[in-house]
Amino acid sequence: MFEQADQYLKDWVGKILPGTSIELAAPQEGGTGQGVSLYLMSLEQKPPTYDNIKQGLQIGLNYLVTTWAGDPETAHRLLGDLVFAALENSEFEVELGKLPAETWAGYRLVPRPYFVLKIPVRKPRQGPVAKYVTQPLSVKDAAVTKLYGQVLGPGDVPLSGAQVTIPALGQVHYTDPRGRFILPLVPGSSNFRTIQVKFKNQVLEVTPSAGQPNSETTPLVLRFDLPEE
């Protein structure tokens, strides 16, 4: 990825300043002829945007751009042509400023005119590619029903206040004084019809079958065997 950015910048400079030498090394004294130094000085993190997240990871490459020539006037002209061309390019960010003297000392150079050229580099995300929907969506109604039930204890005594739950749906109800309960809007699929009954720290789980009674007059009977006290 970085080498692609290097080559892209070299090609860009070659179009702006044809016939000019282009180097990726740090700027130095004593260059022959005339040329441009594109030195990758630093990297920076790019804050993610919605498009970045879809396209992949992104960072910024900061290139220190300097020029050299046999005389200062020519070097300045080369630098001016580049900086104005960069400002007109929407793919670049241009930073103008003043490098600390310590930076130039590290290059063993006296301070010289420059600008920083910033370009983004993206790394595509690796992952499954979602397939396009090629057929119309089919929406089917799910059958729902009411579930009428009654909880009985030993001797078929109605259990009042028992907690009746369908865990998959989060429905919670309590039995009335006759041990009766009604669970509304229960899907017909058996995956959602496991019933859990809690009474005095005891738990009973039942999955009714399709043929069992289920009506207001003939409710589903759940017999709860309680331990003797």
Q: Which CATH number fits the domain that encloses residue 4?
A: 3.30.2000
Contact 98, 114 (CB under 8 A): no
Q: pLDDT at position 39, please?
A: 93
Kindly report whether the global pTM for this prediction surpasses the value 0.75: no
In 15-114, which ranges are E strands? 21-23, 35-45, 56-68, 93-95
* CATH number of domain containing 171: 2.60.40.1120
Domain that holds residue 83: 1-123
Residues 21 and 116 in one domain: yes
Q: pLDDT at position 23, please?
A: 92
Q: pLDDT at position 2, please?
A: 86
Q: pLDDT at position 67, please?
A: 93
Residues 167 and 200 in one domain: yes
Residues 112 and 3 in one domain: yes
Tell me how far apart the alpha carbons of residues 205 and 220 are, in angstroms, rounded to a whole number.
14
Residues 45 and 118 in one domain: yes
The position carrying tokens 């400079």 is 13
| Domain-located, residue 128 | no
Q: pLDDT at position 195, please?
A: 86
Residue type, 105: A
Q: pLDDT at position 86, please?
A: 93
The total domain count for the chain is 2
| Domain-located, residue 44 | yes
Residues 154 and 193 in one domain: yes
Half-sphere exposure of 178 (CA within 13 A, CB side): 10
Residues 102 and 170 in one domain: no
The position carrying tokens 């804050």 is 47
Tell me how far apart the alpha carbons of residues 220 and 213 are, in angstroms, rounded to a whole number.
5
Q: Which residue, 123, 155, 175, sits at the end of a domain?
A: 123
Q: pLDDT at position 228, please?
A: 62
| Domain-located, residue 157 | yes
Residues 2 and 108 in one domain: yes
Find residue 120's DSSP bridge partners. Answer: 60
| Domain-located, residue 8 | yes
| Domain-located, residue 53 | yes
Residues 11 and 108 in one domain: yes
Per-residue pLDDT of the chain (229 residues; tens, 9 = 90+): 788 899 999 999 999 999 999 999 888 876 678 999 999 999 988 766 555 555 567 888 999 999 999 899 999 999 999 999 999 988 889 999 888 888 888 888 888 899 999 988 877 766 665 677 777 777 666 667 788 889 998 888 999 999 988 887 777 888 999 999 888 777 765 555 688 899 888 888 888 776 777 788 888 888 888 766 5
Residues 165 and 112 in one domain: no
